[in-house]
Chains A and B, each alone.
Chain A
Amino acid sequence: VNYQKKGNITIDKDHGTLNIRKILKGKYITDERICYIQIHDFLDNQDCTNGSLLTFRGIVRRDKTKYGVVKEIIYDAYVEMAEKEIQKIKQNASKNFEFDEIHIIHRIGKVSVGEVSLLVAVLSPHRREGIRAIEYVIEEIKKRVPIWKKEIFEDGSHYWVDGNV
């Protein structure tokens, strides 16, 4: 893998540029490809007080549904509201769990099978709080953040995925 160092951010050139500045500025929705990065390079653990780093990557699955085999997913989002909802989830997580940093990024637009649609990273002093925080955040995103997915199948047909009411 071809990594390029940019400040304290390492970008995987083979997978395009993750707009890390969007994460750091509190923007959580991107239409750019989320690449595989060395996450510990941008999480601030310089004084080594954190003993746990968890990352979750949601990946578009080549699902065999009753409508066809998934080729890609088109994510639709109410971006302004989604940004606010993710911010609220992050604030609730901060109140309820002990961690140092949490980063969330959700991709929208066309995402092919095998590509990352959601990235969550949690840096915490201890693993248990980190695990609880990352699970909470992922579940809340699926429940509350206004994002929808349209599965595109190999034969070109499509289906809007049934969501949570």
Chain B
Amino acid sequence: MGVRVLFFGRLKDIIGKESIIFDSIEDIDSVRRNLFDSFPGMSNETFAVALNQEIVNGNKKISDGDEIAFLPPIAGG
């Protein structure tokens, strides 16, 4: 099943796609490190992280089937 990581707004342009699947990954910090290594532009961006559609602060363990989302500052309306 793996872990699906979603990108929104300007982050989609930086990553070049809407989502990435990790076969297995331990925690949110690992996802973050992996992205910073693969997409250096990410390290200049401001974003929040959601785990299964809830904003999380700090690091969190990830289980198979979880959904992670990287959210740039919100600008709806």
Contacts and interface: CB of A to CB of B under 8 A. Distances in A.
Contacts of A106: 76-77
Contacts, number: 73
Nearest to A160: B10
Interface string B4-39: 001011101100000000000000000000000000
A165 B77 CA distance: 15
B9 A165 contact: no
Nearest to A145: B76
Interface in A133-162: 138, 141-150, 160-162
A146 B74 contact: yes
What size tier do the contact residues of chain A reach? Answer: 20 to 34
A75 B75 CA distance: 9
A81 B76 CA distance: 13
A161 B75 contact: yes
Contacts of A143: 74
A47 interface: no
B52 to A, nearest CB: 9
B73 A164 contact: yes
B9 A142 contact: no
B50 A149 contact: no
Which 5 A-B pairs give the minimum distances between C-beta atoms? Answer: A147-B76, A163-B75, A148-B9, A163-B73, A160-B10
